[in-house]
Amino acid sequence: MATISSYNTAKGRRYRVRYRTPQGRQTDKRGFTTKKAAEAFAATVEVEKMRGEYVPPKLGQIAVGELGLAWLERKEADLKPSAYKSLETAWRIHVEPRWGNARLADIDLDSVERWIADLSRRGKGATVVIRAYGVLAGVLDSAVKARRLAKNPARGVENLPRKQRKPRVYLTHGQVDSLVAAAGPRGTLVYLLAYTGVRWGEAIGLRVKHLDLLRKRLTVVENAVQVNMQMHVGTPKSHTSRSVPIPDFLVVELARQCEGKERDALVFPGRDGEHLRRSVSFTGWFTKAVERAGVPRVTPHDLRHTAASLAVSAGVNVKALQRMLGHASAAMTLDTYAELFDDDLDAVGSALDQARSAAVWAKCGQGETEAT
Euclidean distance between CA atoms 295 and 237, whole angstroms:
29
Contact (Cβ atoms closer than 8 angstroms) between residue 231 and residue 225: yes
Please state the φ and ψ torsions of residue 47, each to the nearest 5 degrees. Answer: -65, -45
Q: Taking the domains of the chain in order of start, what are their residue ranges?
A: 3-54, 64-145, 173-336
Instruction: Tell me which CATH code domain 173-336 carries.
Output: 1.10.443.10
Distances 357 to 346, 347, 362, 371 between C-alpha atoms, Å: 17, 15, 8, 21
**Cβ contacts of 107-112, under 8 Å, gap ≥ 24:** 107/64, 107/140, 107/153, 107/154, 108/153, 109/153, 109/154, 109/156, 109/157, 112/136, 112/153, 112/154, 112/157
List pLDDT tens digits, range 320-335: 889 999 888 888 888 8
Run of H or E residues at 224:
strand 223-227
List pLDDT tens digits, range 231-243: 888 888 777 889 9
Contact (Cβ atoms closer than 8 angstroms) between residue 235 and residue 225: no
- For the chain, give the mean pLDDT: 87
64-145, CATH topology level: DNA polymerase; domain 1 (1.10.150)
State how far Cα 73 lies from the chain centre: 20
CA dihedral 40, 42, 48, 52 (to 10 degrees): 180
List pLDDT tens digits, range 218-232: 999 998 888 877 888
* Confidence (pTM): 0.69
pLDDT in 10s for each residue of the chain, 372 residues? 788 888 899 889 998 888 777 667 777 787 888 989 888 888 877 777 776 666 666 667 789 999 999 999 999 888 888 889 999 999 999 999 999 999 888 899 999 999 999 999 999 999 999 999 999 999 999 998 888 888 899 999 999 999 887 888 999 999 999 999 999 999 999 999 999 999 999 999 999 999 999 999 999 999 888 887 788 888 887 778 899 999 999 999 999 999 999 999 999 998 888 888 887 776 789 999 999 999 999 999 999 999 999 998 888 888 888 999 988 888 888 888 877 876 655 555 666 777 778 887 777 766 655 555
Euclidean distance between CA atoms 305 and 298, whole angstroms:
10
Contact (Cβ atoms closer than 8 angstroms) between residue 194 and residue 306: yes
